[in-house]
Amino acid sequence: MNKQLGTINKVLHLKEQLEEEIELEVRRMRDHISMLQTRLSVLEDTYMETQNKFLDKQMAGELALQEMGIYQSYLFHLHVEMEKRKAEIARALIALDARHEALVEAHKETRLVETLKERREKENAKEEMRQERKEMDSISSMLREVNK
């Protein structure tokens, strides 16, 4: 029985390590997504500022034809970069969701092994009590025989 508990403890230790590794990976992925979202936010702010500046100059009639082309080219570039960031964030969120599912599964497996360990410990305790009772009964019957 103790050998089984030793094996269960080893399995439990491995399950806990796996769960910790996945949890760390999920945290890193969340941090990476947060960084990507911050970069996207900066791009969006830059896009809005540039677009507002472009519209203001256009309304004031201060925009030369060449400058208009530069603004439009830059706005197009910012738009493409924003779309790339959005796609990158979407991929990262999908990957995060998959790792989070793996974390939930690892957590379930760890709890399952913990439950098994607790049951084995209870069984071992019951068996030890049974053995002690047997020994006590044996000693007590031997004492009765001696006292007769």
Please tell me the distance from the alpha carbon of residue 119 to that of residue 122, in angstroms, as a whole number: 5
Total count of residues recorded for the chain? 148
What's the domain range around 106? 2-120
CATH number of the domain within which 19 lies: 1.10.287
Residues 6+ apart with CB under 8 A from 33: 89, 92, 93, 96
Measure the CA–CA gap between 46 and 50, rounded to whole angstroms. Answer: 6
At 1 the pLDDT is: 57
Query: What is the predicted pLDDT for the residue at 92?
Result: 97
pLDDT (tens digit, 9 = 90+) per residue, 20-78?
999 999 999 999 999 999 999 999 999 999 999 999 998 988 888 899 999 999 999 99
Residue 141 falls within a domain, yes or no?
no
Predicted pLDDT of residue 4:
83
Q: Which pLDDT value is given to residue 75?
A: 96
CB half-sphere exposure, 90, CA atoms < 13 A: 6
Q: Residue 8: inside a domain, yes or no?
A: yes
pLDDT tens track for 34-44? 999 999 999 99
The total of other beta-carbon atoms located within 10 Å of residue 109's CB is 17
The position carrying tokens 């493409």 is: 80
Within-domain flag for 19: yes
The pLDDT confidence band at residue 148, using thresholds 50, 70 and 90, is low
Query: How distant, in Å, are the alpha carbons of 74, 77, 89 from that of 102?
Result: 42, 38, 20
| Cα–Cα distance for residue pair 51/49, rounded to 1 Å | 5
pTM for the predicted model, two decimal places: 0.75
Instruction: Name the token pair of 62.
Output: 């201060």
pLDDT digits (tens, 9 = 90+) for 106-145: 999 999 999 999 999 999 999 999 999 998 888 888 877 7
* For range 75-86, the mean pLDDT: 97
Report pLDDT for 2: 75
Establish if 127 belongs to a structural domain: no
Q: Report the number of distinct structural domains present in the chain.
A: 1
